[in-house]
């Protein structure tokens, strides 16, 4: 049995952890002190050697991303933290920022020093004021303590950190849309290349990292590459803040080495409510293909999930039991993508409308077998044909649902899904609470 390994979450039960004094009590900012004595390139090398991969979904090697920033180019460099956590099912960055905002700030300072950025931005979605105010307080405390500002701890390094609140647009979690948003434009993706490492914020070299990724940095710098690599696998080193949600007895945050299985996580989460069967689950957000009970023993690593035909994504598994209609679940996700498509690219803008409209007919029992094939064609025509991954994501739920649950789509050609699956049986409350 893979053990739980709280690292990022280790001191979350200290109610003062969100303060500078609380964070320092648990060794906070000691990694920064050590980092500021090192050559920035050595830090980039260290993160490269650690094998840390981005925790925002794509899993790109973090150190490699940092190394793409051209040095001595005379341009200002920027660090932008993607804290726009809005992926359906993803709920780990917001808890991290609420429970331990200083671990993010320490990571931001070290990262900025490594990539020679004197300005860092933390872009947090606007719908979570609790996370925003805690990060804002952490920035002020760090500034007052001389950890942010001019000549940090006598190192000669200057850094300003700004927290920026979004305003309700899922697309701003896409890194180039986020940059446009941060520049004060509509949040629409840019064509790549050029990549942000070369021309990002204000057309200057920019590193964009996810919150959890950045929170790994102080630990890697403080405890070393060898320590970090004892967790996880060769290709997926380290630990992960897993957030388990859905029809489980104890939904919540579970931090464990990469490579733990869903079966083990389910066990930690107290098993399924009422002992019902797992019907389908998604390892990391609605944008990754769904899996079934046959995949509970697949290691939660980037490589094993890819081999199983899906992605680790955000590493925040949603688990659904057999009371849920997969047709209804997929339709709801497509309604989301339709709503959140920014409208820039025709295949995504129009395609999400077509798919959603067709799926809604299935939901009401009016689908047809011919339309089941049409939907496959539509998804094929969206995937890879838009600027950003939102289109690809929108083209993901249906094909994977069809692969494992074809019969349900066939049934939805004649019978409304609510007549097949009583919606109330999927609720996590019952009796008086349900009125």
Partner 1 sequence: MSISETTRAQLEELVARYPRPRSALMPMLHLMQSLDGEVTPDGIDACAELAGVSPAEATAVASFYTMYRRSPGGAHHIGVCINTLCGLLGGDAVYEALSERLGVGHDQTTPDGRFTLERIECQAACTHAPVMTVDWEFMDDVTPTSAVDVVDRLERGETVRSTRGPVIRTWRDTERSLAFPDDGLAAEGTPVDAKMLAGLSLAKERGMAAPTTAQEGR
Q: Does 181 bind partner 1 (CB under 8 A)?
A: yes
Q: Does 25 bind partner 1 (CB under 8 A)?
A: no
- Residue pair 50/64 in contact by the 8 Å Cβ criterion: no
> Rounded to the nearest whole angstrom, what is the least distance from the CB of residue 335 to partner 1 in the complex?
9
Phi, psi of 257 (to 5 degrees): -65, 145
Q: Please compute Rg for the chain using Cα positions.
A: 22
Write out the binding residues for partner 1, residues 137-156 only, by CB under 8 A. 137, 139-140
CA gap 94, 197 in Å, rounded:
25
- Residue pair 400/287 in contact by the 8 Å Cβ criterion: no
Q: Does 202 bind partner 1 (CB under 8 A)?
A: yes
Q: Does 312 bind partner 1 (CB under 8 A)?
A: no
Q: Does 417 bind partner 1 (CB under 8 A)?
A: no
Task: Determine which residue in the list 21, 33, 41, 130 makes contact with partner 1, applying CB under 8 A.
Answer: 130
Write out the binding residues for partner 1, residues 40-79 only, by CB under 8 A. 76
Q: What are the distances in angstroms from CA 45 to CA 42, 58, 280, 372?
A: 5, 21, 40, 50
Q: Does 191 bind partner 1 (CB under 8 A)?
A: no
For residues 109 and 138, which CB has a smaller minimum distance to partner 1 in the complex? 138
Write out the binding residues for partner 1, residues 204-233 only, by CB under 8 A. 223-224, 226-227, 230-231
CA gap 56, 52 in Å, rounded:
12
Q: Does 268 bind partner 1 (CB under 8 A)?
A: yes
Count, residues in the chain: 435
**What is the 8-class DSSP label of residue 97?**
H
Q: Does 287 bind partner 1 (CB under 8 A)?
A: no
Stretch that binds partner 1, among 42-50, 313-321, 352-360, 403-411 (CB under 8 A): 313-321
CA gap 286, 172 in Å, rounded:
16
Task: Determine which residue in the list 187, 189, 283, 313 makes contact with partner 1, applying CB under 8 A.
Answer: 187
H/E element, 244: strand 239-246
Task: Determine which residue in the list 152, 300, 318, 327 makes contact with partner 1, applying CB under 8 A.
Answer: 318
Buried b (16+ CB within 10 A) or exposed e, 99-127: bbbbbbbbbbbbbbbbbbbebbbbbbbee
CA gap 258, 112 in Å, rounded:
26
Task: Determine which residue in the list 157, 333, 387, 409 makes contact with partner 1, applying CB under 8 A.
Answer: 333
Task: Determine which residue in the list 26, 75, 332, 349 makes contact with partner 1, applying CB under 8 A.
Answer: 332
Q: Residue 361: CB partners within 8 Å, gap ≥ 6? A: 367, 371
CA gap 130, 213 in Å, rounded:
21
> Rounded to the nearest whole angstrom, what is the least distance from the CB of residue 345 to partner 1 in the complex?
15
Alpha-carbon 405 to chain mean position: 27
Count of residues in contact with partner 1, rule CB under 8 A: 103
Q: Does 293 bind partner 1 (CB under 8 A)?
A: no
CA gap 64, 49 in Å, rounded:
10
Q: Does 12 bind partner 1 (CB under 8 A)?
A: yes
> Rounded to the nearest whole angstrom, what is the least distance from the CB of residue 370 to partner 1 in the complex?
26
Q: Does 424 bind partner 1 (CB under 8 A)?
A: yes
Q: Does 193 bind partner 1 (CB under 8 A)?
A: no
Q: Does 13 bind partner 1 (CB under 8 A)?
A: yes
For residues 239 and 405, which CB has a smaller minimum distance to partner 1 in the complex? 239
CA gap 367, 162 in Å, rounded:
50
Write out the binding residues for partner 1, residues 77-106 only, by CB under 8 A. 85-91, 93-95, 98-99
**Cα first-last separation, the chain:** 41
Task: Determine which residue in the list 71, 306, 403, 427 makes contact with partner 1, applying CB under 8 A.
Answer: 427
> Rounded to the nearest whole angstrom, what is the least distance from the CB of residue 337 to partner 1 in the complex?
10
Nearest C-alpha neighbor of 105 from the set 166, 24, 16: 24
């Amino acid at each position: 049995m893979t053990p739980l390994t709280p690292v990022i979450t280790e001191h979350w039960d200290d109610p003062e952890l969100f303060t500078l004094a609380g964070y320092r009590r648990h060794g906070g900012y000691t990694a920064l002190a050590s980092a500021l004595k090192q050559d920035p390139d050595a830090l980039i090398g260290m993160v490269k050697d650690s094998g840390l991969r981005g925790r925002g979904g794509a899993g790109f090697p973090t150190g490699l991303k940092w190394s793409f920033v051209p040095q001595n180019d005379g341009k200002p460099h920027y660090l932008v933290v993607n804290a726009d956590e809005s992926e359906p099912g993803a709920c780990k960055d917001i808890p991290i920022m609420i429970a331990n905002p200083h671990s993010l700030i320490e990571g931001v300072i070290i990262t900025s020093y490594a990539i020679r950025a004197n300005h860092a931005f933390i872009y947090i979605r606007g719908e979570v004021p609790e996370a925003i105010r805690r990060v804002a307080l952490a920035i002020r405390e760090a500034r007052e303590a001389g950890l942010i500002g001019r000549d940090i701890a006598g190192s000669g390094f200057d850094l300003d950190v700004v927290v920026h609140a979004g305003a309700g647009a899922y697309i701003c979690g896409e890194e180039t849309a986020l940059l446009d948003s941060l520049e004060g434009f509509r949040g629409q993706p840019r064509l790549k290349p050029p990549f942000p490492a070369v021309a990002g914020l204000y057309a200057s070299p920019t590193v964009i990292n996810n919150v959890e990724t950045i929170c790994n940095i102080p630990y890697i710098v403080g405890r070393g590459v060898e320590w970090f690599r004892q967790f996880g696998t060769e290709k997926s080193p380290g630990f992960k803040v897993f957030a388990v949600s859905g029809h489980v007895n104890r939904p919540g945050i579970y931090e464990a080495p990469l490579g733990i299985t869903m079966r083990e996580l389910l066990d930690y989460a107290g098993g399924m409510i009422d002992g019902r069967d797992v019907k389908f689950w998604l390892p990391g957000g609605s944008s990754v293909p769904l899996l079934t009970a046959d995949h509970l023993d697949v290691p939660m690593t980037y490589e094993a999930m890819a081999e199983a035909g899906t992605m680790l994504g955000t590493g925040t598994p949603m688990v659904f039991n057999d009371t849920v209609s997969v047709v209804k679940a997929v339709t709801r996700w497509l309604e989301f993508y339709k709503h959140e498509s920014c409208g820039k690219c025709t295949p995504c803008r129009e395609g999400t409308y077509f798919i959603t409209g067709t799926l809604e007919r299935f939901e009401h029992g009016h689908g047809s077998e011919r339309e089941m094939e049409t939907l496959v064609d539509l998804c094929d025509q969206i995937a890879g044909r838009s600027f950003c991954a939102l289109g690809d994501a929108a083209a993901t739920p249906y094909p994977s649902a069809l692969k494992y649950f074809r019969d349900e789509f066939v049934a939805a050609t004649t019978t409304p899904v609510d007549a097949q699956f009583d919606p109330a049986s999927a609720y996590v409350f019952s009796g008086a609470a349900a009125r």
